[in-house]
Amino acid sequence: MGSLDLQTVLLQTVLPIVVGVGAGVLTSACFARQSSKKLEHEAEKLRTLTLMLLKILDGQGVIEVKEWDSDTGEPTRWSVGKSVSTTYTVDAPTPWWERIWRRFRE
């Protein structure tokens, strides 16, 4: 049998592990950064829609915004003084198992 020296052991075992871990860390960091940017974008869209909804509710008299922050455009004080009743009907989708069962019966 041949003898194993330290250099061979390092090149054949330790080096591939280090390269694999490094590649995994870089890949994870890349996807984490992309996800973070997408999340920030979605949060900004949600903030814009929320402010729009608050302005609509204020305009319709459902809420009364007493003070708006001039820097951010967000309400700093508001009150809800009106009760609004909303009724709507939603048809629930047919469950998947029921759709499959209907196919077998036909």
Residues 104, 106: Cα–Cα separation, whole Å: 6
Mean pLDDT of 65-80: 84
Residues 75, 54: Cα–Cα separation, whole Å: 8
For the stretch 28-44, pLDDT in tens is: 999 999 999 999 999 99
- pTM (2 d.p.): 0.52
- Asked if 53 and 78 touch (Cβ cutoff 8 Å), the reply is no
Mean pLDDT of the chain: 86
